[in-house]
Amino acid sequence: MQENIWDTETAQRYDTPGSGMFAPEVLEPTVDRLALLAGEGAALEFAIGTGRVAIPLAARGVPVTGIELSPPMVRQLRTKADEATIPVVVGDMATTTAPGTYSLVYLVFNTISNLMTQPEQVECFRNAARHLEPGGRFVIELWVPELRSLPPGRTATVWQSDPGYIGLDTYDVLNQQVVSHHFHFDDETSRARLFRSPHRYIWPAELDLMAQLAGFELETRDADWAGAAFTADSRSHVSVYRLRP
């Protein structure tokens, strides 16, 4: 299913230089934090996509390798960085291995939730552990499920509404599934473009248990890449796990 979602059209539309996920205020704190965590070692990005984070991180002097399920996303990355600069292995981040060992493995922008079952998500942690040096870190950026905003009897929440864009999620709370719907509106016509992606949402406490099963312990949890305090009202978190000796 995920291979069909991240197709050529999606890959070509994915990059939005200077805005959205690519805005400097979003990207720079992410790269700053990851560069600090990588230290003198190399980094492995699960679901590297088109290189939004990997390219500026490599420009900081951190050797970056990627694993990516979608060949079209890799082809889009290759328009910006060659294989020698950022090697990429095509495959599933829960099972695919990359050569070498790393001081840092990271997953950004909710991507672990693209794995649709709990066992797959646990295997993702174990795959991270397989790639890490002793004491290495696994970093996950993930949103907090917004079930508190779901009215009784309703299955959908609008989480963003801007000119030309509406984002909403539909929940299946019995199976811990959510589908994100992204509507982009044309200013000159009445037409809209829809992109949908399915996810399995994960509570922070469940994520910590997955980490323990794979030999990690939680080192820090912040509300964002800049280190804001994580609270009951935080909409997302950046969790850093340390591989136990």
Same domain, 55 and 139: yes
Same domain, 194 and 151: yes
Q: Is the dihedral of CA 56, 226, 105, 116 positive or negative?
A: negative
d(CA 103, CA 121): 21
Same domain, 13 and 48: yes
The pLDDT of residue 221: 98
The answer to whether 65 and 88 have CB atoms below 8 angstroms apart is: yes
Q: Structure tokens of 106?
A: 């990271």
Digit-coded pLDDT (tens) for 46-56: 999 999 999 99
What stretches in the chain show pLDDT beneath 70? 1-7, 11-12, 14-15
Same domain, 134 and 90: yes
Same domain, 229 and 151: no
Same domain, 63 and 49: yes
Number of domains present in the structure of the chain? 2
> Which structural domain, as residue segments, surrounds residue 171?
147-198
d(CA 213, CA 80): 37
Cβ-based neighbours of 157, under 8 Å, separated by 6 or more = 146, 149, 150, 168, 169, 171
Same domain, 106 and 177: no
Average pLDDT of the chain to the nearest whole number? 92
Same domain, 111 and 226: yes
Digit-coded pLDDT (tens) for 73-102: 999 999 999 999 999 999 999 999 999 999
Same domain, 105 and 188: no
Same domain, 183 and 234: no
Output the domain CATH number for residue 13: 3.40.50.150
Same domain, 78 and 32: yes
Same domain, 133 and 186: no
